Structure 1
Amino acid sequence: MKHVIFLFFLSVIWNLSSQTKTTFVYSVKRSDTLKLDVYTPRRIKKSEKLPALLWMHGGGFFEGKRNDRNNVKLCKYASRNDYIGISISYRLLRKGTQSKFGCNCSKQEKLETFKQAVIDFLDAADFIVKNANALHIDAQYIIAGGSSAGAEGSLNAVYLREYFVDSLEKYNDVKFAGVFSAAGAVVNADYIKKTNAVPSVLFHGTNDQLVPFGSAPHHYCKPESPGYLMLDGSEVIAKKLEDLETSYYFNMVKEAGHEISAVPFMDLKKVFHFFERTILNDEIIQTKIIKTKSP
């Protein structure tokens, strides 16, 4: 009996450490050395290539870390389910500023912050595409994802590349197969077109006071404030994808706020199953889940 228990604990330990983590520098920009952590299944075959989840953490562009507990947990989950999980750092341009990313941060500063976040995300994607063979990544199946500020950065990188990036040819080889957003928004959903629409997972609370659920000012700033900037949230993005007959999984939580930006661990099985069906199997699925915040 003791041997059975011992073998059981060995099995548990193996499952908990069934991936390897490797850290790379993907870009150096002035004083910022930008890194990414790659979580690979330990037993991957030498010639095997897997889809990848490229994840951008939240934190209002002034805080947060790529190796926070939940980001690590998400990437490990991905690697246990036949993905390469990748969590990136990026420039926190609002760190140390008095206005952070609120209503006293000017519209111009916000747009510049979004732009540089998009560039950092695309640079990370370009790095993994260029090193796809060594990283066991199928470059045709990269899912962009993020939470809160990271969701804004990754969504804008997927859908507004031409809006934010001057030298588009640099990223000719970077293509995204899908997007996974937890409380994100884009600057203008009109940039979502048939040519760039991809299967999208969208989680959002209807009462989010930071990142709008529909079309509304960022942080609900008043028109006379410096930081007044209209954004299109998950509701608008989902409607756009519906009109374009593109797959989406829209999980809206009535009466919930920005807490929905947390990684939806309870729903990850459904999320990855959605990507399997829509990206790997090329099915068209449009699903809207409506929940109400628990008291």
Structure 2
Amino acid sequence: MKKLFLGLLFVALSASAQKQQTLTYFANDTLKLELDLFLPEKMPKEPIPLIIHVHGGGFSGGERQSGYDFCKYLAQNGYAAATISYTLYMKNKKFSCDGQLTEKVKAFQFGANDIWLATSYFLKNKDKFGIDASKIFVSGISAGAEALLHAAYWDRKSMSLYPNNLPDTFKYAGLISGAGAIMDLNLITQDNLVPMLLYHGNGDKTVPYATAAHHYCPPGSSGWLMLFGSYSIFGRIGELEGSGALYTYCGGGHEYSGFVIEKEPQRILAFMNKVLSGERLMTHDIIQTGKSNELSSAYDFCH
């Protein structure tokens, strides 16, 4: 009976393990990058969409395990979902006003390149995992959102650090950015624009909600970097007549960077389902938090 119990336990654990897989998506002599892939319990015959999730942490901390609940939720709803580790370039370096601008840019570049590598890995193994290569989304929180925005809109040839097999015509099906920002709105063009779900607290003093310096650094700071946050990106979507959704958390600070992914993943699921159905979005949801500060007071729609 004991042997039978142990055998049944092994089978159960094996079945569970098949739903979550830890995989190495890139390795060379000095670097090993891993991800955890979550798949639906019962895979359909046809290929399914994939979302690649990128954790936050200022490019110096954080871990991919923080995305487990989000990925499990999406896998339960018919998506393949992967949460990745990536290069924490700013570890033991300064990332605020007293840091170095060039180092900040490199942090974005390493993060974007790792996303490209993970995407390349899934394109190469799409049949193995039953993934539809035309339906790959990316999501991220804070630093992860900054990395994925640049992964979506940077020129891959000029910013690539490693070889990858992404076709020149490859575009993500859509992206989800939690308190993210991009260095230049002009990177987003009519040709490369993809549907975007953006959410941000308009009182964020770390990553600007609209357009301002990173950390609101004063001019002349060694780490001064202009960033265009969710509100500015949403305006760009409108200019280009694209598809997007913005959730503004009135008075909310950077603590809202993971709010939708962690607390309201159904919003993301609904967004991706609408994108895949071909629906165009242009919505701005204004959510009261009961908080207020000097930054959020500039936006009349919050009052």
TM-score bracket, normalised by the shorter chain, equals 0.7 to 0.9
TM-score (norm 2): 0.85
Which consecutive residues of structure 1, in runs of 5 or more, have no partner in the other structure? 1-12
Question: What does residue 265 of structure 2 align with?
Answer: 268
Match of 2:19, SS state, is strand
Give 1:25 shift: 0.8
Question: What does residue 250 of structure 2 align with?
Answer: 254
Distance in 1, matches of 2:214 and 2:105, equals 11
One-letter code aligned to 2:122: I
TM-score (norm 1): 0.87
1:51 paired with 2:46, answer no
Q: Call closer, same or farther: CA 1:205–1:164 in 2, change over 3 Å.
A: farther
Question: What does residue 20 of structure 1 align with?
Answer: 19
Give 1:102 shift: 1.1
The one of 105, 112, 115 aligned to 2:109: 115
Distance in 2, matches of 1:163 and 1:229, equals 23
Give 1:236 shift: 0.8
1:72 paired with 2:68, answer yes
1:172 paired with 2:167, answer yes
Q: Identity across aligned pairs (percent)?
A: 34
Distance in 1, matches of 2:264 and 2:248, equals 13
Residue pair 1:145, 1:155 contacting (<8 A) in 2 also: no
Match of 2:65, SS state, is coil
Question: What does residue 133 of structure 2 align with?
Answer: 139
Distance in 2, matches of 1:86 and 1:75, equals 7
Give 1:274 shift: 2.0
Distance in 1, matches of 2:160 and 2:128, equals 29
Question: What does residue 195 of structure 1 align with?
Answer: 191
Distance in 1, matches of 2:96 and 2:81, equals 31
Question: What does residue 33 of structure 1 align with?
Answer: 32
User: Once superposed, what is the RMSD of the aligned Cα atoms?
Assistant: 2.2
Give 1:141 shift: 0.5
Give 1:244 shift: 1.3
Distance in 2, matches of 1:106 and 1:213, equals 22
Structure 1 segments (4+ residues) deviating >6 Å:
none
Residue pair 1:19, 1:79 contacting (<8 A) in 2 also: no
The one of 53, 61, 64 aligned to 1:63: 61
Distance in 2, matches of 1:254 and 1:19, equals 42
Residue pair 1:54, 1:142 contacting (<8 A) in 2 also: yes
Residue pair 2:25, 2:35 contacting (<8 A) in 1 also: yes
Deviations 1:26-63 (A, max 9, x none): 11255331001110012114x43111110010000000
One-letter code aligned to 2:212: A
One-letter code aligned to 1:148: S
Q: Call closer, same or farther: CA 1:226–1:147 in 2, change over 3 Å.
A: same
Question: Which stretch shifts more, 171-180 or 57-66?
Answer: 171-180
The one of 275, 284, 289 aligned to 1:288: 284
Within a 5 Å distance, the mapping from 1:86-97 to structure 2 comes to 86-97=82-93
Distance in 1, matches of 2:21 and 2:171, equals 23
Residue pair 1:147, 1:263 contacting (<8 A) in 2 also: no
Q: Call closer, same or farther: CA 1:60–1:169 in 2, change over 3 Å.
A: closer
Question: What does residue 9 of structure 1 align with?
Answer: none
Deviations 1:59-102 (A, max 9, x none): 0000001112xx100000110111001000001011123x2x11
Distance in 1, matches of 2:122 and 2:140, equals 17
Question: What does residue 274 of structure 2 align with?
Answer: 277
Distance in 2, matches of 1:124 and 1:18, equals 21
Distance in 1, matches of 2:73 and 2:151, equals 24
Residue pair 1:217, 1:230 contacting (<8 A) in 2 also: yes
Which consecutive residues of structure 2, in runs of 5 or more, have no partner in the other structure? 1-11, 292-303
